[in-house]
Amino acid sequence: MNDFTYHAPTSLDEALAALRGGGDGAKLIAGGHSLLPVMKLNLASPTDLVSLAGVPGLGDIADGGDSVTVGAMCRHAQVAGSAVVQARIPALAAMADGIGDAQVRNAGTIGGSVAHNDPAADYPAACVALGATIVTDRREIHSDDFFQGMFATALADDEVVTAVRFPVPARAAYAKFANPASKYAVAGVMVADGPAGVRVAVTGASGDGVFRVAEMEAALGASFSGEAVAGVAVSSDGMLSDTAAGADYRAHLVTVMAKRAVEACG
Amino acid sequence: MSANGSGIGASVKRKEDTRFLTGRGRYTDDINLPGQLYGYILRSPVAHADIGGIDTSAAAAAPGVHAIFTGSDMEGVGGIPTGWLIHSKDGEPMVEPGHPALALGKVRYVGDCVAIVVAETREQAKEAANLIDVDYQELPAVASIEAAEAEGAAQVFDEAPGNVCYDWEVGDRAATDAAFDEATHVVSIDVVNNRLIPNAIEPRAAIANYDPATGDYTLYTTSQNPHLIRLLLGAFVLGLPEHKLRIVAPDVGGGFGSKIPHYAEEAILTWTAGQLGRPVKWTCERIDAFKSDTHGRDHISTARLALDADGKFLGLHVSTKANLGAYLSTFATCVPTYLYGILFAGPYTTPAVYCEVKSFFTNTVPVDALRGAGRPEATYLLERLVEKAAVELGMDRVEIRRKNFIREFPYQTPVALQYDQGDYDATLDLALKASDWAGFEARRAESAARGKCRGIGISTFIEACGIAPSAVVGSLGARAGLYESGSVRVHPTGSVSVFTGTHSHGQGHETTFAQIVSDMLGVDFEAVDVVHGDSAKIPFGMGTYGSRSLAVGGTAIYLAVEKVIEKGKKIAAHLLEASVEDIEFENGSFTVAGTDRSKSLGEVALTAYVPHNYPEGLEPGLEETAFYDPLNFTFPAGTHVAEVEVDPETGEVEVVAVTGADDVGRIINPMIVDGQLHGGLAHGIGQALLEECLYQDDGQLQTGSYLDYTMPRAADLPSFNINHNTTLCTHNPLGVKGVGEVGSIGVPPAVINAVIDALRPLGVNDMAMPATSQKVWQAIQQAQG
Ligand SMILES: Cc1cc2nc3c(=O)[nH]c(=O)nc-3n(C[C@H](O)[C@H](O)[C@H](O)COP(=O)(O)OP(=O)(O)OC[C@H]3O[C@@H](n4cnc5c(N)ncnc54)[C@H](O)[C@@H]3O)c2cc1C
């Protein structure tokens, strides 16, 4: 790991200033559970790290009636244990509870997760299926526009995610097949029946990151049942392939997880 | 059990846990010496290359750098030796190429040591190492057994044509062939024993010091066997006399065999400290541990079993190819031979057994012992084959085993070993009952109702521990003895220090050995401390591996205590004005038989050190040492039953129950024994379902971090159902056998047999380890067409 300057701003403005001051080499750090591993491997070598830990107002979960807003610095364990999330969107709480292990859940944040957009991360599936809005220091971005392929998002270099707003669905569930070693998603499917209609969003499987399965959504629109999606195969073209799961197996798992998520919607 | 309730048979809480659980353990990396520098080992990023040149100029100029050494600097320093000479079928000795500590002219695996950079800080050393420019002229690599033996394969060593190290055999080939001629049935199987990465929690570390004033070298190192390291490093590599080289293996956080070998880094560090006259410290990073700690297993085998019409085993023929990696690690050559081939009688009366093993060099990390070392490989093959025979012959899986059990002891196997004692029916019966084997079909039906495929699998096994005797292993090629030492020092007021040549790195020796001494001497458990790990404190001993410490080291301690008691009787007889023959020793008191006249151990000890009124001609002091060379191996045995549930949609395998019925000999501390069994079972289930070291064809390690290499976690395991049936070892006084490797030896075939049992209704008849969900799913797909 290279040497870097550590900034501990106490306001969003200070954080933005530090980020701009550091130029190309500056990076935000939230829970550090995605950034530090890549720094240890010298895959990222930022010159400046700007911590969001001391920025006020980023750690709250607010019940907005027809939506729930989760602050960017909320840890996965906080979302999993939140009474508001459990009551309004239990699928989201359960999803957060299935991220990595206890250490990861106590350090990793929702803001870091969506900003990083790891193709095997869980939150992107939840955001897209639920039709969430990503709130930043300067604008609001719908999740359909936010996630732009592996590790790519609509964020500008100096833009800070401040919160994610989830519309409350009528019903939703997440089913994940975890990598046995890392516990990241090999195939994670969030199914939601919400204000934006029925959505099926898949993470972990594709090299392009989160994607929706239109054919499954149509089938569920006609009949919201596990059987309706059980017969819908997704193509293995463009699927990730690694030692734990080849492309065919991943494609197969997407269908199985989709079926299980629908069944879990009750 | 002794009066104090903490003797033999008591589940005393582990003495060592106070320091481990409160963060007060002292591991190698916790040790810092005044004026120390930090070493960073630059490793080869390629599997096979000629080194065209190494430019260290930029690195040497980097901040904080004191020195950089490469292979040419260490040229002439002895290479890293190997501990066991194997002879091939034709009588020729194995090919034994040199192993320079720092690569000389060539690198042979990703992770091979290329240079050491010594700097003020760890970070500076690492940063500077990045500036070293090595001209790697890449050569084709062989990363697997198949690649190594292929026509025209790249050569790891010029002197090893076809990459073969040796082609060994054991057993009577002609007799075995004859058995096959007579057979009614022949059942054959092909199995792969997956390569594993050991992953001790504590990465390797070392800190070396040289004192120019005295000429003394000290090396603190993460080792299971400090004296062995001193012998190899001193006598073979650096040419240092023993009295000038002290090796300390302090608290060690897990070994599993990976901390047996003498590693190149130990030689590099010690030599470098000598060059610089300052202490040099090195701690392996996890990412480097994956590619430099010795790996385990990695066999490809084909075997045939000959049976008569009734299912009696007539003969067994095994052909194995073993991967040794790029260099011969300390016990690399004996693991797939004398710790493997001689196990093939198993618990069965098979009259003719033959095993041949061809071992190969490859451009991969050196392979050495890993928990069980050779015995898991043998047991896996045998128990898969026996299971397959039952299925093919339409016999009951339990009955085929029972029909062939050895019941008369001592039993001479056709592959060298002589079993002294055992009761295989007893452990089998116990396991069947404890696992409710008979009620399985109801559970299968219940799982099926939930859409799951349930299976049950069994393995009945023996293992050979406490490898011995020295004269025999010497005749088989061992370059060291395999005895153990123990010293018992009774202090003037009756507390006791015990010095053992074994080493504890998780096994709980400080507790178990203290229990033995406390029990025998009748002193408080708290009054006994066990000292291990420092060659300057302990008598010469061979260390800990192969489940030997209690059977061999514990026996040495037992014998030393007996000597103490004998001497104590002489002193007591003098004090009590009785004859020595009339003195009895029990519960800490020397008593004149038939009287109430007695002296406590403390009184006797004080007399020994303040010998004012003392037997004439007797040496003062109360301290005795014993060296014990075992008469035979010990033979723990047992039955393991695994029950699994497979999700046919995803291929996921869940281990829902594991039952062990084990005979590990006399149990000193039941809690520690169960802990060892639990750990071993976790290890075995890891191999069966999760762990697999994979290399790309070019020799790059594919599973080089925890992102890809799956260790078993608590959540992957059921609650273990452990049962014991004990027969005593007949040739050591405690009747003990060993327990550290039982789980990793016995359970993998039970798990795989269970997986196959679960999938057989779907048409799946074979499964390779690890039975990952993808592999299981693919097998189902294939079977379903
Ligand atoms: C062993 C392990 C297992 C894991 N398993 C899972 C899993 O199962 N599922 C899963 O989804 N994830 C998993 N993760 C990832 C974990 O959830 C991460 O914590 C998360 O993805 C990133 O959050 P973070 O707060 O740690 O971000 P950091 O690592 O601090 O930052 C990640 C990136 O996001 C940027 N960033 C951070 N916060 C913001 C912000 N507010 N605005 C803009 N940019 C920002 C950073 O600059 C950086 O580029 C795992 C991680 C580990 C180490």
One-character DSSP codes across B109-158 = STT-EEEEEEESSHHHHHHHHTT-EEEEEE-----SHHHHHSTTPPPS-T
CA distance B242 to B225: 15
| pLDDT of A196 higher than 90 | no
At residue B579, the 3 state secondary structure works out as coil
CA distance B648 to B659: 24
First to last CA, chain B: 62
CA of A202 to nearest chain B CA: how many angstroms apart?
Answer: 17
The count of C-alpha atoms lying within 13 angstroms of the C-alpha of A110, restricted to the half-sphere facing its C-beta, is: 36
Q: Tell me the average pLDDT across A207-219.
A: 97
Q: What pLDDT is attached to residue B5?
A: 82
For residue B648, the chain A residue with the least C-alpha distance is A256
Contacts of B131 (CB under 8 A, 6+ apart): B58, B59, B62
Show the domain range for A16. Answer: 1-50
| Partner residue facing A182 (CB), from B650, B706, B716 | B706
Contacts of A49 (CB under 8 A, 6+ apart): A4, A5, A6, A7, A26, A27, A28, A29, A35
| Partner residue facing B774 (CB), from A182, A244, A256 | A244
- Residue A231 is part of a domain; what is its CATH number? 3.30.390.50
Burial of A191 (0-12, 13-18, 19+ CB in 10 A): buried
Is A255 within the bounds of a domain?
yes
CB contact under 8 A, A181 and B708: yes
Q: Rg for chain B (alpha carbons), in Å? A: 27
E strands, B635-714, are 637-646, 653-663
CA distance B497 to B521: 12
Query: End of a domain among A12, A30, A50?
Result: A50
Burial of B185 (0-12, 13-18, 19+ CB in 10 A): middle
B contacts of A256 (beta carbons < 8 Å) = 649-650
A177 close contact with B: CB closer than 8 A? yes
A140 close contact with B: CB closer than 8 A? no
CB contact under 8 A, A180 and B690: yes
Tokens 């999700």 belong to which residue? B647
| pLDDT of B2 higher than 60 | no
pLDDT, one tens digit per residue, over B575-596 is: 999 999 999 999 999 999 999 9
CA distance B766 to B167: 28
Is A67 within the bounds of a domain?
no
CB atoms within 10 A of CB B494: 20
Cα of A32 from ligand 1 centre, angstroms: 6
The atom of ligand 1 lying closest to the CA of A122 is: 11
CA of A97 to nearest chain B CA: how many angstroms apart?
Answer: 15
Ligand 1 interacting residues, C-beta cut-off 6 A: A 27-35, 37, 52, 72, 99-100, 104, 107-109, 111-113, 115-116, 118, 121-123, 155, 160-161, 182-184
Q: What pLDDT is attached to residue B3?
A: 44
Pairing of strands B113-119, B37-43: antiparallel
At residue A239, the 3 state secondary structure works out as strand
Average pLDDT score, chain B: 97
How sure is the predictor about B428, in pLDDT bands with cuts at 50, 70 and 90? Answer: very high
Q: What percent of chain B lies above the pLDDT cut of 90?
A: 98
Q: Which of A38, A39, A177, A249 to mutate to test the interface with B (most CBs of B within 10 A)?
A: A249
Cα of A31 from ligand 1 centre, angstroms: 6
Tokens 């709980």 belong to which residue? B508
pLDDT, one tens digit per residue, over B431-488 is: 999 999 999 999 999 999 999 999 999 999 999 999 889 998 998 999 989 999 999 9
Length of chain A: 266
pLDDT, one tens digit per residue, over B604-640 is: 999 999 999 999 999 999 999 999 999 999 999 999 9
Atom 2 of ligand 1, residue of closest alpha carbon: A100
- Chain B, window 160-219: residues with a beta carbon less than 8 angstroms from a chain A beta carbon: none
At residue B199, the 3 state secondary structure works out as coil
Q: What pLDDT is attached to residue B468?
A: 82
What is the four-CA torsion angle of B367, B369, B372, B377, rounded to 10 degrees? Answer: 30
Is A234 within the bounds of a domain?
yes
Is A108 within the bounds of a domain?
no
Locate B250 and state its tokens.
């302090």
A244 close contact with B: CB closer than 8 A? yes
| pLDDT of A42 higher than 90 | no
CA of A248 to nearest chain B CA: how many angstroms apart?
Answer: 10
- Residue A32 is part of a domain; what is its CATH number? 3.30.43.10
B772 close contact with A: CB closer than 8 A? yes
Q: Tell me the average pLDDT across B73-91.
A: 96
**Which residue out of A74, A109, A151, A161 has the highest number of ligand 1 atoms within 8 Å of its CB and is therefore the one to mutate?**
A109
Pairing of strands A48-51, A5-7: parallel
Let me know: does B267 contact B237? Beta carbons within 8 Å: yes
| pLDDT of B1 higher than 50 | no
Is A117 within the bounds of a domain?
no
Let me know: does B688 contact B697? Beta carbons within 8 Å: no
One-character DSSP codes across B259-308 = TSS--HHHHHHHHHHHHHTS-EEEE--HHHHHTTS-BB--EEEEEEEEE-
B471 close contact with A: CB closer than 8 A? no
Q: φ, ψ for residue B194 (rounded to 5)?
A: -65, 145
CB contact under 8 A, B706 and A181: yes
CA of A140 to nearest chain B CA: how many angstroms apart?
Answer: 34
Q: Tell me the average pLDDT across A108-136.
A: 98
B461 close contact with A: CB closer than 8 A? no
Is A80 within the bounds of a domain?
no
B628-638 per-residue burial string, b: 16 or more CB within 10 A, e: under 16: bebebbbbbbb
CA distance B138 to B127: 24
A contacts of B773 (beta carbons < 8 Å) = 177, 180
CB atoms within 10 A of CB B50: 12
Q: Tell me the average pLDDT across B523-527.
A: 95
Please report, for residues A40, A153, B125, B157, B293, the alpha-carbon distance to residue A37 in angstroms, rounded to integers and kept in the order given. Answer: 5, 20, 20, 37, 22
How sure is the predictor about B4, in pLDDT bands with cuts at 50, 70 and 90? Answer: low
Please tell me what DSSP assigns to residue A1. -
Domains of chain B: 17-24+483-628 (3.30.365.10), 31-139+201-254+259-290 (3.90.1170.50), 299-467+632-784 (3.30.365.10)
Is A32 within the bounds of a domain?
yes
Smallest CA-to-CA distance from B203 within B78, B304, B293 is with B293
Please name every residue paired with B528 in a beta bridge, in sequence order, or none if there are none.
B496
A226 close contact with B: CB closer than 8 A? no
Look up the ipTM and state it: 0.96
Is A196 within the bounds of a domain?
yes
Q: Tell me the average pLDDT across B79-104.
A: 97
Please state the domain count of chain A: 2
| pLDDT of A3 higher than 50 | yes
Length of chain B: 785
CA distance B514 to B294: 32
CA distance B781 to B759: 11
One-character DSSP codes across B512-577 = HHHHHHHHHHT--GGGEEEE-SBTTTSPP---S-TT-IIIIIIHHHHHHHHHHHHHHHHHHHHHHT
Q: What pLDDT is attached to residue B681?
A: 98
Locate B10 and state its tokens.
């008591």
pLDDT, one tens digit per residue, over B444-455 is: 999 999 999 999
CB contact under 8 A, B287 and A41: yes
Q: Tell me the average pLDDT across B165-183.
A: 98
Is pTM, for the whole model, over 0.90?
yes
